Amino acid sequence: MQLPLLPGEITPETVLTALMRRVGPANGITAADLAEFITGRRNAADERRLRQVIEQLRLEGHAICATPDEGYHLAANADDLDRTCRFLVKRIEATARLVAAMKRVATPDLYGQLGLPIPQEKTE
């Protein structure tokens, strides 16, 4: 007889273990569902902790992908990782526009102050 698993805490190890079952965007999972899968409970504090741990794991080089449409998953290939990286860059650009507006400086000036390359507008 196998004993049921006790709910766990959100740690780098438990997140990676849970994501091993989630390879590729077709197997993505929302933050709320992933936190509940790991802990057995559903609350905002666990979601915040999950996002912190995922940030830590990404900083360590783990290819943890996520977009709003796909949910969290491990990259199955380079395209998966590139899609998440493009999503994250768009978030950076949107945040930079907000900061520039609030500080009342031109976005290119803000990029220059931060030492970042100015995004080029797509012409198609």
Which of 41-55, 77-91, 108-122 is least confident? Answer: 108-122
- pLDDT tens column, 59-95: 999 999 999 999 999 999 999 999 999 999 889 888 8
Assess contact for 88 and 68: CB atoms under 8 A.
no
Q: What sign results for the dihedral spanned by CA atoms 98, 103, 106, 109?
A: negative
pLDDT at 56: 98
The mean pLDDT value of the chain amounts to 88
Question: Which residue would you say has higher pLDDT here, 112 or 66?
Answer: 66
Q: What percent of the chain has pLDDT over 70?
A: 90
